[in-house]
Structure 1
């Protein structure tokens, strides 16, 4: 019996999902190298845009998307303001229960894939939307300040100081085990 189009699409979706999980498992211990690769790709893309003096709108859209993903990465999984973030290394139970809205691998994957897609889109002249780039820079700065201020206010309402929360998010508050 021949498969229908939705069945084929579902099968391809699960196959792609399985391959992504396999990639996550293969690169689990190499997060530093993953981020170095993403940084190199991003620097290459930004140099390309700066040298060609084009595709500023794509860079702006990429920045907004990665900023949105970063906010998901640093936010706790529940949007409930009564859930406090773990802020001390002594409270390991809280540290184990803390879950991000977006895990580190997903954040890395989103940043890498969309930077690569932006690079590919920059090769096509029809994607070069004429914009006055200084306005985009000012708008990006204003948007970033507004979003970070909103997140800091949310942290204050949960009695979390920013320095400790940032240490937790980058993994400096993880328990140390002797070898």
Structure 2
């Protein structure tokens, strides 16, 4: 299947998706319509991005569960136990890269198809939608970055192996 053969080509897949998104945006700009479709598409992509940046096992939820356990009469010994910071915990995404790409590509294709129908061309004042999306994006990403800093995780590895020691022998 074509999707299976495209799996190792991450860069090329994302270039194709970026081309589809550019085609969609060009369609919206040239036709001066379908702003609701564009807004819904942007919100969906923001939702996918957040799921991509978040860990599968959220440390804030684990801390809340431990606190709830103590409040409900759980084992008080759990309160004194702190996780070891030096312990290796790999970053596992809530939404893997493949699923992120596939969902983003499918959503973009559906958005392009929606611009074919006049039923989705609802007249709206687009600057309000743009301003609301920019505000939503800023608030959401600020919250996500604070969460990443608080729980000390970085969702990107930049393709480099971590090296230990000075390297001189």
TM range (shorter): 0.7 to 0.9
Q: Is 2:54 aligned against 1:75?
A: yes
TM-score using structure 1 length: 0.71
Q: Is 2:5 aligned against 1:30?
A: no
Deviations 1:93-132 (A, max 9, x none): 43xx221000001000011000000000111001111110
Whether contact under 8 Å (1:81, 1:157) holds in the other structure is no
Q: Is 2:136 aligned against 1:157?
A: no
- Show the 5 A alignment for 1:1-179: 23=3, 25-81=4-60, 93-94=88-89, 97-160=90-153, 165=154, 168-169=155-156, 171-172=157-158, 174-175=160-161
- The unaligned stretches of length 5 or more in structure 2 are 63-85, 163-169
RMSD, aligned CA: 2.4
Deviations 1:148-173 (A, max 9, x none): 1111221232145xxxx2xx52x315
What is the distance in 1 between the residues matched to 2:28 and 2:102? 22
- How many residues are matched? 140
Residues 153/117 of structure 1: CA separation in 2 closer, same or farther (3 Å cut) = same
Larger Rg computed on CA atoms:
2
What is the distance in 2 between the residues matched to 1:148 and 1:48? 28
User: Runs of at least 4 residues of structure 1 off by over 6 A?
Assistant: none
Q: CA deviation at 1:64?
A: 0.3
Whether contact under 8 Å (2:59, 2:151) holds in the other structure is no
TM-score using structure 2 length: 0.75
By relative contact order (CA 8 Å, sep 6+), the higher-ranking structure is 2
What is the distance in 2 between the residues matched to 1:156 and 1:38? 30
- The unaligned stretches of length 5 or more in structure 1 are 1-18, 84-90
Residues 172/51 of structure 1: CA separation in 2 closer, same or farther (3 Å cut) = same
Which of the pair is proportionally richer in helix? 1
